[in-house]
Amino acid sequence: MNKKKQPVQGVSLVSMINKNSTLAEECRIIRSNIQFSAVDREMKSIAITSSSMSEGKSTVAANLAVLFADSGKKTLLVDGDLRRPTVALTFKQSNHIGLSTLLTDMNGSIHDVVRDSNIPELSILTAGPKPPNPSEMLNSNRMLEVMETLEEMFDLIIYDLPPISNITDAQIVAARTNGTVLVSRQQQTKKSEFLKAVNSLKMAKANVIGVVYNGMKKNSDSYYYYG
């Protein structure tokens, strides 16, 4: 019997709710480590993905976007998960237009779909209506054109991508970004799926800059580990 899919929900912005919390501080550490990985080259785009569902990749992506914006970078969070989007829900915005709209309309303007998040220096691009062919749309020349234009408009773009298992969406976009972060969750992520995800990213020639080990409790407070 197939497991019933959980309804899609927005994620908690711990970096905004309580900026002094342990979780927020650990997200800052992840942000710093990403910055350190870009010492020799400019990091304009980052892909966040996972090996399977419910490992926390959208939470990591959204909170990192908030923290990079908080550091003064003009940041854009793109919902590249065209199948199970969360960004619109997280920021309480409509998803009637978004990335899929932009990829469908060759004459569409990026300015019409990029929105203010109500957080200084942070903009969002929601996924838009679910298309029948997400992989083909993300692998199109139009997508490459959009990504290049966004890099001219923003200091940093963070792509919240779908899990790697069974679909190629994340591989396609990750290969076109400067760096990829893979999120896993303690006592949930299967080693075989994780290794498969790493190999899939390597095959796509994505630049994996780190892994966030989500849910790790080294002590009574710690939740995230980056390595």
User: What string of DSSP letters covers 108-150?
Assistant: --HHHH-EEEEETTEEEE---SPPS-HHHHHTSHHHHHHHHHH
pLDDT > 70? residue 12 = yes
Q: Can you give the pLDDT at residue 138?
A: 97
Q: pLDDT band for position 26 (50/70/90)?
A: confident
Q: Can you give the pLDDT at residue 225?
A: 47
Give mean pLDDT, residues 108-124.
Answer: 94
Residue 94 near residue 88 (C-beta atoms within 8 A): yes
For Cα atoms 90, 6, 84, give the angle at the middle one, nearest 5 degrees.
50
**Overall CATH class of domain 44-226:** alpha beta
Q: What is the DSSP-derived secondary structure letter of residue 158?
A: E
Give mean pLDDT, residues 200-213.
Answer: 93
Closest CA to 45 of 168, 173, 170, 133: 173
Handedness of CA 44, 147, 117, 28 (dihedral sign): negative
Instruction: Give the chain's mean pLDDT.
Output: 87
Q: pLDDT band for position 52 (50/70/90)?
A: confident
Q: What is the DSSP string of 62-123?
A: HHHHHHHHHTT--EEEEE--SSS--HHHHTT---SSSHHHHHH-TT--HHHH-EEEEETTEE
Q: Can you give the pLDDT at residue 41?
A: 74
Q: Give the domain ranges of the chain.
A: 44-226
Q: What is the DSSP-derived secondary structure letter of residue 107?
A: T
Residue 115 near residue 125 (C-beta atoms within 8 A): yes
pTM value > 0.85: yes
Distances (CA, A) of 44 to 35, 74, 112: 11, 11, 22
